[in-house]
Structure 1
Amino acid sequence: MAEGGCALLVGTYDRLGGSGVVPLTLTADDRLIVGEPMSQARNASWWVPAGDLILAVDEQDQGEIAAFATADWEPRFRRSSGGAAPCHLAFDPATRKLAVANYESGSVTLFRLDEAGRPTRLGMALLTGHGPHAERQAGPHAHWVGFADSGRRLHLVDLGADRILSFTVDPERGLGQPATAWHAPAGSGPRHLAFLPGTDLAVLASELASTLTMLRRTGPDGYEAVQTLTSLPPDAGESLIGAILTTEAGDRIHVSNRGHDSIATFALEGGQLRLLGHVPSGGAMPRHLLLLKERARLLAANEEGGGVTLFAVGPDGTLRSLPARADIAGPVFLDRA
């Protein structure tokens, strides 16, 4: 790699012309160079590192978790995700338990990892419920999972039934019965939750309503809403939130708007969010965002057209479009190599 370059990876969808996981290099002079696709990793819309392995979802109806060698993405093994269309993975702090959100089946599966990083199913919960949106909320849709309280609880965002659930995690018996930690407004379709470091606050991105809600934890199984605001400018038209990205310090939050095809930037000040502005995403349906702090750069994966686009991050956190663009079909996930 050229001096000053940054090695990246792009996960893609087959149905949108994707060809696996695609290497991408951001050069020191802000060019994007596309490498040869690794076709063995299909529909990898989310992945997490696990020592010498990378564990990725294979987002299909017969959902699977696929394991690859970190060094070269050579396949190692596959496991059923326990549901259909797995879309999100999360480790506990000890990297010994792995939770998987299965979107289409509305289920969550908990795995225990052995010393070699191989997952064994520890428990599963099949959700029930629905929301008022006839097409998108006919049943539960698990869209995000994350561990809390040093791994003793698992929180789940259910887009289909407008809620955040909280499960106790037993080292031997797996998941306890869920408690509803927060009821989202009916039809809002909560998608992703982002914990803010060093605080009792979290930001919830609701896909169908295109809103951000600042939440404060009120206890092990509870949240209360502090603030809700839109991610869109006035008269934006139909749009869906795609990604939520917080800075390491938690003082800036970036959100992608699919339909309006923009990225919104917010400042967090005194426990309240303040809109700093919007910038066009440079493509259609921006789904995922990646921040390169040391380079003051942000990348956006435009799922349905426009490939991967590049932005400069100003001192105040606002974004400026740069000319670089990577022509990659169906990009849905971005990560460092």
Structure 2
Amino acid sequence: MGTTERGLRAYIGSFTTAGGAGLTTAAVAPGTGALTALHTTDVLPNPSFLAPSPDGRHLYAVSETTDGTAAAFTLTPEGPAPLGPPVPVGGADPTHLTLTSRHLATAHYTSGSISALPVRADGTLGGPAAVLRHQGSGPRADRQEGPHAHAVRADPSGRWLLSVDLGTDSVRCCTLDPTSGTLAVHAEIRLRPGSGPRHLAFHPGGAFAYVINELVPTVTVCRWDAAAGTLTPLGETRLLPDAPGTPETFASALVLSRDGRFAWAANRGHDSISVLAIDPSDGHATLVGTVPCGGHWPRDLALHPDGRHIYAANERSGDVTWFTLDPHTGLPVRAGSLAAPAVSCVVFA
């Protein structure tokens, strides 16, 4: 069943080991973007990150556990229904996933690796066709003693898979063979030592990419060359104003507007959303300001498909807060919230 038949839905992932419901399905009100919870399912432990299929018929989730699995679901009016059993990803504590080249790519924080799982024609998953382990470390002994792959993202051309590693302060540009699932590193791009890159988002124009850094509250602006598969760091933008008494902050998530004029970043500790203005000529990001995230410890941000609302998944306060975006300034204005214990992710389908 597609979105037009059932209306837009939000799918909310949470940590079941911390009291979360697992997968929550919520109706999304037209116009306001308000969420109303419909049902929950806890068939998968710790579904911390989710990815809907492009046709909106299936949903995929990682299970962030030591054994590390991924699962496929069929989206029904009654909620996500398991589509086959969970399959191992070949790594510990998967934190992120993306669909590309007829595969589900997953990133595994603890084992510092990424994998590619075949997606069959019926939407079910096969076991990992390939597992690629990162190598290296960083200067922060408490967080960077080894590789910690935190996110995987396909580039807009679909030719490349980028793996963001917090432990090695680098982004690896990889190839993924659509037939065999083989993964290979094409290039490794080093970022500032100790920055702890966590996630990556592409500018809709395709020429720039933005890496949000967890260990310092900054975004690294990069030029992206899809023909060569190269990422060139251009500079960093701070996510918080310089002010005395600012709490220790761990940036977490980054999204860009559909027109590429703005970016929004989530800051755990400071418990805020940063608003960045993007210069389309050179990709430069300028901090416009920050607003409270509406809760505590914003782990994820999600943009409504209409581009007029943004949602913060506040893990420790256990709620999803939504905001209306000012089209001229990009500043979010709080509009409501939904209780969601131990929330970690929000996606729409």
Q: Is TM more than 0.5 here?
A: yes
1:40 and 2:43 matched: yes
Q: Cα offset for 1:176?
A: 4.9
Pick from 84, 91, 96 the counterpart of residue 92 of structure 2.
Answer: 84
2: distance between equivalents of 1:295 and 1:205?
A: 21
Q: Which residue of 1 aligns with 2:337?
A: 325
Q: CA deviation at 1:250?
A: 1.8
Alignment correspondent of 2:285: 273
Aligned pair partner of 1:200 in 199, 204, 207: 207
- TM alignment of 1:184-199, pairs within 5 A: 184-199=191-206
Aligned equivalent of 1:152, options 145, 155, 159? 159
| Deviation for aligned residue 1:306 | 4.8
1:65 corresponds in structure 2 to 70
8 Å Cα contact 2:72/2:123 also seen in 1? no
Does the alignment pair 1:102 with 2:105? no
TM superposition shift of 1:30: 6.5
Could you tell me how far apart the structure 2 residues matched to 1:118 and 1:89 are? 15
Question: Which has the larger displacement, 24-33 or 160-169?
Answer: 24-33
Going from structure 1 to structure 2, the CA distance change for 1:31 and 1:273 (only over 3 Å counts) comes to: closer
Structure 1 range deviating more: 281-290 or 269-278: 269-278
Letter in 1 for 2:74: A
Shift of 1:24: 2.5
DSSP-derived class of the 1:15 partner: helix
TM-aligned CA deviation for residue 170 of structure 1: 2.9
- Which has the larger displacement, 35-44 or 135-144? 35-44
| Aligned AA (1:63) | G
Q: For residue 288 of structure 1, what is the amino acid of its counterpart?
A: D
Corresponding position: 1:54 with 2:66? no
Instruction: Give yes or no for the alignment of 1:118 onto 2:120.
Output: no
For 1:286 and 1:15, locate their aligned partners in 2 and report how far apart those are by CA, in whole Å: 18
1:302 deviates by 0.3
Residues 295 and 83 of structure 1, relative CA distance in 2, 3 Å threshold: closer
1:58 counterpart letter in structure 2: S
Taking only the aligned residue pairs, the percentage that are identical comes to 33
Deviation at residue 173 of structure 1 after TM alignment: 4.7
Distance 1:220 1:303, change over 3 A: same
CA distance in 2, matches of 1:306, 1:61: 23
**Is 1:226 aligned with 2:238?**
no
Asked if the contact 1:252/1:268 (under 8 Å) is kept, the reply is: yes
| 1:179-328 mapped onto 2 (5 Å cutoff) | 179-218=186-225, 220-235=228-243, 236-269=246-279, 270-271=281-282, 272-292=284-304, 294=306, 296-322=308-334, 324-328=336-340
Moved more, 316-325 or 284-293: 316-325
Q: Residue 13 and residue 36 in structure 1: after superposition, are their counterparts in 2 closer, same or farther (change >3 A)?
A: same
1: CA distance between counterparts of 2:149 and 2:10?
28
Aligned-pair CA distance for 1:32: 4.0
In structure 1, give the amino acid aligned to 2:237.
L
1:210-235: CA deviations, max 9, x gaps?
A: 11111013563422222211111213
Q: Which moved more, 1:78-87 or 1:46-55?
A: 46-55
Contact 1:167 1:175 in 2 (8 A): no
Instruction: Tell me which moved more, 207-216 or 5-14.
Output: 5-14
Q: Is the 8 A contact 2:52 2:348 kept in 1?
A: no
Distance 1:162 1:73, change over 3 A: same
Distance 1:32 1:171 in 2: 37
Could you list the per-position Cα deviations for residues 261-305 of structure 1 after superposition, in whole angstroms to 9, with x for gaps in the alignment?
000011111321121211001111101112225372221110111
- Name structure 1 gaps, 5 residues minimum: none
Matching residue's letter, 1:181 = E
Residues 328 and 174 of structure 1: CA distance in aligned 2, closer, same or farther (over 3 Å): closer
Q: Work out the CA distance in 2 between the residues paired with 1:164 and 1:147.
A: 12
CA distance in 1, matches of 2:73, 2:305: 27
Secondary structure of residue in 1 paired with 2:297: strand
- 3-state SS of paired residue (1:44): coil
2:52 partner letter = P
- Pairwise CA distance, 1:117: 2.1
Normalised TM-score (structure 1): 0.91
